[in-house]
Amino acid sequence: MLLEKLPDLSLTDMSGNPFSLKELQGKKTLIFMWASW
């Protein structure tokens, strides 16, 4: 999914602090999501 708009998600960073994808608006951002099922 390249150059697509994402919904405004609320996530937690590696330090446990909450942040919103809206904070990244206008910045080039790579989002890598990984899960071990």
pLDDT of the chain along its 37 residues, tens only?
566 777 888 888 889 999 898 888 888 888 787 889 8
Rounded CA gap, 33 and 20, in Å? 15
pLDDT attached to residue 16: 93
Sign of CA dihedral 10, 13, 19, 23: negative
pLDDT attached to residue 1: 56
Q: Please count the other Cβ atoms lying within 10 Å of the Cβ belonging to residue 17.
A: 8
Sorted by sequence, the CB contacts under 8 Å of residue 9 that are 6+ apart come out as 20, 21
pTM over 0.75: no
